[in-house]
Chains A and B, each alone.
Chain A
Amino acid sequence: MAQQTAAASATKVRLKILRGVGSDAASERYDTFEVPREEGMVVLNAIHYIQTNIDPSLSARWNCKAAKCGSCSAEINGRPKLMCKTRVDSLEGEITVEPMKAFPRIRDLVTDVEENWRVAAMIPPFTPRADASKDWRFFQRDVERSREFRRCIECFLCQDVCHVVREHKADYIGPRWVVKAASLDMHPMDGLNRADFMKDKGGLGYCNITKCCQEVCPEHIVITDDAIIPEKERVVDRRYDPLLLLYRRMRRANPLLWLYQRMPRSQKQVEADTKSALKVVFWGLLLAPFVIVPLYYLFLSLLG
């Protein structure tokens, strides 16, 4: 018997697929299909076989079938994956295929990812630096910083797996869109600072760095370490750095700083300059007693 099953699984693949229409729970059911096993086949091949030969009513979104467009996202054996990139021989036994759970279902494996465009429109777009010359010159190492994030194929598997997105959809933009913001922030010619946006509208503080998103990324973008954490650091720099807080207080009081602020320079540069200038002042104030006190005693001793 066991031998028979083994022989069958060598020639056949069993798939259990979650079917259903819209949010109608009554329409929900699992269907099981058996398709012939082919060498090197991926889950999407099996889906195509079902649609062509067994049940044409099965709906599944796909397009390039080469892991480049990010259309065929689904949950395979409970893990968010691209159907076109998941080889059947990498899975054992019956394969369960379900739609992404974080998005409303349209039909069968197809979900509604429309809400992403609303979020995309919120992110402050690429804005060239005010001081950019006519002829843009920058180097490969400047490009590399942003390059990783530009591999994103918008499959939204990271949004699907993110427990924060599931619970705080209205408040947190989600990993894909933090990656987007990071790709713009790290563009060598970009002149915006998106930290305020990320803090106030992006809800970046909601992310508690469980790193689930970077585990499921089919493009192997290290989402949490390379995008989310640096973005969090930017927010901290801008909003919670005591030096910058002090600077902002002083700016309100000091007409000279106010004038400096009005000089035609980009925001990023002003902040970098002020930060280093304030560092000098800070250390100066801190070290001043160690210079002034001995000088005072020297003066006293001279008097004496």
Chain B
Amino acid sequence: MWQPGERGPETETLDRTYSAKPCDVLIVGAGGAGLRAAIEAYDKGAAALVVCKSLLGKAHTVMAEGGIAAALGDVDPQDSWEVHFSDTIVEGQRLSNWRMAEIFAKEAIERVYELERYGALFDRTKEGKISQRPFGAHTYRRLCHIGDRTGLELIRTLQDQVIKRGIPFMDEVALTRIFRHPGHGRASGALGIDIRTGKLVLFRAKAIVLATGGCGRVYQVTSNSYESTGDGIAMAYRAGAELMDMEMIQFHPTGMIYPPGVRGILVTEAVRGEGGILTNAQGERFMTKYDPKRMELSARDVVARSIYSEIVAGRGTKNGGVYLDVSHRGEEYIKNKLPSMYDQFMEFAGIDITREKMEVAPTVHYQMGGVRVDPETCESSVQGLFAAGEVACGLHGGNRLGGNSLSDIMVFGRRAGAAAAAAATTAPQPKVDEKEVEAEIDRVLSPFAPGSGENPLQLKEQIARNMWEHVGIVREEESLQAGLEEVGRMSEAAREMRARPGRTYNQSWLDALQVWDMLLGCEAIIRSALERKESRGAHTRSDYPAKDPKWLVNIVTVMKDGAMAHFLTPVPRPPPELEALIKE
């Protein structure tokens, strides 16, 4: 941890010096997955160090509202891990890794009780057990919740555990690159920027856990935080790790749309859970056309596509959305069940949802794809490099169920931490190639090159607009190609980006570095989307509208000779006893 007063005068703009930080396990990211990994690695005896880009406790996990999915069976005793396993695989459109889903469904239960032992205060049933609420496409009531602030409580609880143990952390440090051992290729170090001083730090680690979240900020309309720029994916890719399912981007059906300043902020699924009705500008309850059985509580990909179709067909509101109305449930009920939604609309839009309709449209929410990992240890294809949470891939397949992400970060955060600690005990001393470090410092300092150039924030806006226009909910060959060309053009323009001089809390510099990471993420998304010539889960192609069994494969993205390459790998089939559990 930094001591107050440790920061001296402002660092020279082109200062190339760096300080060294050794540790056993370097944990990148302090959301739920990162903190849980740190706790586990520390408890297993490893010298863990947590590094995160925002302040401690501000990670994107705080945005989670609905709950954490685990088959406790407190409310519905018929529930079991087997049913949770089946729901996850079926709704993931069969692209999930069966072993990950099995581990997940079994261990999620234990992780919830563990959170309770750590001090999280879940809502209770009448019998004093943990209360569970229903959510889209979960067979039983399964989401353990803390009002509508589950993520906040979760991160605060884990944060307290980290502080209690005295696990060292450095917040507001952005990593730019992962280095591998020049001999045997294990991940063994990383370069970072201490945002507050602008100084460079070289981390040497025996194992690295990536828990950096997703890349939702590459889209214009998103519920994601500022820091969700896909740095982890870019770092893993550049280190040679395999990415998978990158075309799978979840659009949450309901985000705020008006006023423009708050566009994209999430409107929780619980609104529909509590009886919210979707209508188009003509007052028609359009879900009767798309899914008459489940109506508004259909799977997220279905509802998002339906809303999109209505808007495209010209039946949207003048702000380009549809209406979501829950006012029939009455003032008291709404204020009781959806307090933060009531506040959110009252304060940001001046709309009283107990009387008026909300205006909503889909917003980018989650990245199902990411770093391809081993289900047991969360190790990527690079030895010593682990990944957990949204940055990792394999559990959610083609569509994530609400509430599964919080249990995902707990289950696999813990597993990654344990495996990294174990790896650290046997790993040789870390070593990084000085030449590689110098080359990376060149890259990192390049936005300070003389002359004027493009403002990185302008490019960020262009990236977001391009993805929104060309790689949206419904995709087709031509627009994907156009999007890819645009990414190429922006990559050229990105060379001319310039950051303001000075190193202290220089956001334009960090923005410039993020633009490169974001462009890499965009390219991976578009190329995978071009590859998958069918419609499955969150990936919809208007030129290939049907689901095709021959596409029961995962698309893997990997760097080959400095360029992005793809290969297909069949989804592993579960053993017969697990296959028997899956009920479509």
Minimum CB–CB distance for B75 against chain A, Å: 14
Query: How many chain B residues have a CB neighbour from A under 8 Å?
Result: 68
Given the interface pairs A64-B225, A112-B196, the reply to whether A38 lies near B58 with Cβ below 8 Å is no
> Is A146 within 8 A of B500, CB to CB?
no
> Assuming A120-B163, A140-B124, is B505 touching A106 (CB within 8 A)?
yes
- A178 at interface (Cβ–Cβ under 8 A)? no
Q: Which residues of chain A (152-190) have a CB below 8 Å from chain B? A: 152-154, 184, 187-188, 190
Assess A41 versus B225: contact at CB under 8 Å? Given A106-B504, A137-B128. no
Give B356-374 as 1s and 0s: 1 = Cβ < 8 Å from A's Cβ atoms: 0000000000000000000
Closest B residue by C-beta to A141: B124
Contacts of B124 in A (CB 8 A): 138-140, 142-143
Can you name the residue of chain A whose Cβ is closest to the Cβ of B149?
A151
Q: Is the Cβ of A38 less than 8 Å from the Cβ of B260?
A: yes
Given contacts A150-B149, A150-B156, contact A139 B225 (CB under 8 A): no
Chain A residues with CB under 8 A of B166:
121
| A71 with B58, Cβ < 8 A, contacts A137-B127, A143-B123 known | yes
Residues in B neighbouring A138, C-beta threshold 8 A? 124, 128
How many whole Å from B160's CB to the nearest CB in chain A? Answer: 6
Give B57-86 as 1s and 0s: 1 = Cβ < 8 Å from A's Cβ atoms: 110101100000000000000000000000
Chain A CB within 8 A of B489 CB = no
Whether B332 is near chain A, meaning CB under 8 Å from some CB there, is: no
A125 in contact (CB, < 8 A): yes
**8 A Cβ contacts from B276-313 to A:** none
User: In the docked arrangement, what's the CA distance between A147 and B147, Å?
Assistant: 9
Tell me if A113 and B146 are in contact (CB < 8 A): no
Q: From the candidates A41, A61, A70, A120, name the one contacting B261 in the complex (CB within 8 A).
A: A41
Report the bound CA distance from A137 to B131 in whole Å.
11
The answer to whether B62 touches A153, judged by C-beta atoms less than 8 angstroms apart, is: yes
Would A56 and B508 count as touching, CB distance under 8 A?
yes
Known: A69-B62, A120-B163. A57 touches B128 (CB 8 A): no
Identify the stretch in B114-122, B421-429, B556-564 within 8 Å (CB) of chain A at 4 or more residues. B114-122
Q: Which of chain A's residues have a CB closer than 8 A to the CB of B126?
A: 139
Q: Is B129 an interface residue (CB 8 A)?
A: yes
For window 89-109 of A, CB contacts with B under 8 Å fall at 104, 106-108
Interface of A is mostly: loop
Q: Which residues of B, 1-52, contact A by the 8 Å Cβ criterion?
A: 1-2, 4, 7, 9-10
Given contacts A56-B457, A69-B225, A71-B58, contact A40 B262 (CB under 8 A): yes
Cβ-based interface call for B241 (8 A): no
Out of A65, A67, A107, A125, name the residue touching B226 (CB < 8 Å). Answer: A65
Contact pattern, B 254-281, Cβ under 8 Å of A = 1, otherwise 0: 0000111110011000000000000000
Q: In the assembled complex, which residues on chain A have CB atoms less than 8 Å from the CB atom of B128?
A: 137-139
Report the Cα distance A121→B62, complex, angstroms: 21
- Contact indicator B259/A40 (Cβ below 8 Å): yes
Q: CB < 8 Å: which of B55, B152, B225, B348 contacts A150?
A: B152
Over the window 121-146 of chain B, the binary record of Cβ atoms lying under 8 Å from chain A Cβ atoms (1 yes, 0 no) is 11110111101000000000000001
- Chain A residues within an 8 Å CB radius of B349: 40
Complex Cα distance A60/B60, Å? 18
Q: Nearest-CB distance from B558 to chain A (Å)?
A: 31
The interface residues of chain A lying within 8 Å CB-to-CB of B156 are: 150, 152
User: Binary interface profile of A, 113-138, with partner B (CB < 8 Å = 1, else 0)?
Assistant: 11101001100011010000000111
**Alpha-carbon separation in the docked complex, A143 to B131 (Å):** 12
- A205 in the interface (beta carbon within 8 A): no
How many A residues touch B, CB cutoff 8 Å?
61
Q: Does B569 contact A (CB under 8 A)?
A: no
Find the B residue at minimum CB distance from A62. B226
Query: Which residues of B are found within 8 Å of A62, using beta-carbon distances?
Result: 226
B164 interfacial contact with A, CB 8 Å:
yes
Contact residues, B533-581 vs A (CB, 8 A): none
Known: A110-B505, A154-B57. A63 touches B261 (CB 8 A): no
Q: Mark A18-38, 1 if CB is under 8 A from B, else 0.
A: 000110000000000000001
Flag whether A254 is at the interface (Cβ < 8 A).
Answer: no
Q: What residues of B have a CB within 8 angstroms of the CB of A87 in the complex? A: 347-348
Residue in contact with A59 in the complex, picked from B4, B147, B225, B507, CB distance below 8 Å: B507
Alpha-carbon gap, A138 to B117, bound state (A): 13
A249 to B415, CA, bound (A): 52
Please measure, in the bound complex, the distance between the C-alpha atom of A110 and the C-alpha atom of B127, giving whole angstroms.
47
Q: How far is the CA of A48 from the CA of B62 in the complex (A)?
A: 22
Q: Which residue of A lies closest to B53 (CB)?
A: A63
Of the residues B163, B260, B348, contact of A121 by C-beta under 8 Å:
B163
CB neighbours of A146 from chain B (8 A)? 121
Q: Which residues of B contact A71 (CB under 8 A)?
A: 54-55, 58
Interface string of B305-342 (1 = CB under 8 A from A): 00000000000000000000000000000000000000
Q: Do B227 and A117 touch (CB < 8 A)?
A: no
Q: Is the CB of B266 within 8 A of A66?
A: yes
User: Shortest Cβ distance from A113 into chain B, in angstroms?
Assistant: 7
Q: How far is the CA of A109 from the CA of B432 in the complex (A)?
A: 37
What separation, in Å, do the CA atoms of A46 and B431 have in the docked complex?
46
Q: Is A68 an interface residue (CB 8 A)?
A: yes
Assess A52 versus B458: contact at CB under 8 Å? Given A45-B261, A146-B121: yes
- Cβ of A198 under 8 Å from chain B: no
> When chains A and B are docked, how far (Å) is the Cα of A125 from the Cα of B117?
12
CA distance A140 to B259 in the complex (A): 37
| Docked CA distance A247–B361 (Å) | 65
A21 to B287, CA, bound (A): 55
Q: Mark B188-201, 1 if CB is under 8 A from A, else 0.
A: 00000000100000
A154 to chain B, nearest CB (A): 6
Complex Cα distance, B1 from A136, in Å, reads 35
Residue in B closest to A56 when the chains form the complex, CB atoms:
B508
Does B461 interact with chain A (Cβ within 8 Å)? yes
Q: Are A40 and B258 in contact (CB under 8 A)?
A: yes
B481 sits at the interface (CB 8 A): no
Q: Check A52/B58 contact, CB under 8 A, given A125-B160, A125-B164.
A: no
Question: Which A-chain residue is minimally distant from B457 (CB atoms)?
Answer: A52
A213 at the interface (CB under 8 A from B): no
A-B contact pairs, 14 of them (CB 8 A): A42-B262, A48-B457, A57-B508, A63-B227, A66-B265, A69-B54, A87-B348, A107-B505, A113-B55, A115-B4, A126-B118, A138-B128, A143-B124, A150-B121
Residues of B within 8 A of A (CB): 1-2, 4, 7, 9-10, 54-58, 60, 62-63, 116-119, 121-124, 126-129, 131, 146-147, 149, 152-153, 156, 160-161, 163-164, 166, 196, 223, 225-227, 258-262, 265-266, 344, 347-350, 455-458, 461, 499-500, 502, 504-508
- Which residues does A use to contact B, with CB under 8 Å? 21-22, 38-42, 45, 48, 51-52, 56-57, 59-71, 85, 87, 104, 106-108, 110, 112-115, 117, 120-121, 125-126, 128, 136-140, 142-143, 146-147, 150-154, 184, 187-188, 190
11 A-B pairs besides A71-B58, A107-B505, A143-B121 with CB distance below 8 A are A40-B348, A42-B262, A56-B508, A62-B226, A63-B60, A66-B265, A71-B54, A112-B4, A121-B166, A153-B62, A187-B119
3 interchain residue pairs of minimum CB distance: A40-B259, A126-B119, A137-B128
